[in-house]
């Protein structure tokens, strides 16, 4: 009886660990995909992006002066 309980406990711990590893893997893949999409967008539209950022930062300065 005790051996069966220990075996069930070990199996449940292993299944929890497997679920945890799968969750970490999914999170890692989502972060990797998002970062690659952002880097692709920045590489393709780098000049437009820099122009928009500079414009958004300089717009309040121009209105206050």
- Tens-place pLDDT, residues 10-56: 888 888 888 888 888 888 888 888 888 777 777 777 666 666 766 67
> Is the per-residue pLDDT at 65 higher than 60?
no
> Is the per-residue pLDDT at 8 higher than 60?
yes
6 against 55, higher pLDDT: 6
What is the arithmetic mean of pLDDT over 1-18? 81
What are 43's two structure tokens?
């590489």
pLDDT at 49: 67
Indicate the domain borders of the chain. 2-64
Overall pTM > 0.85: no
């Amino acid at each position: 009886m005790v051996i069966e309980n220990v075996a069930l406990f070990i199996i449940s711990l292993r299944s929890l660990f497997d679920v945890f590893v799968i969750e970490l893997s999914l999170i890692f893949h989502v972060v990797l995909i998002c970062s690659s999409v952002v880097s692709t967008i920045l590489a393709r539209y780098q000049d437009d992006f820099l122009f928009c950022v500079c414009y958004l930062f300089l717009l309040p300065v121009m209105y206050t002066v």
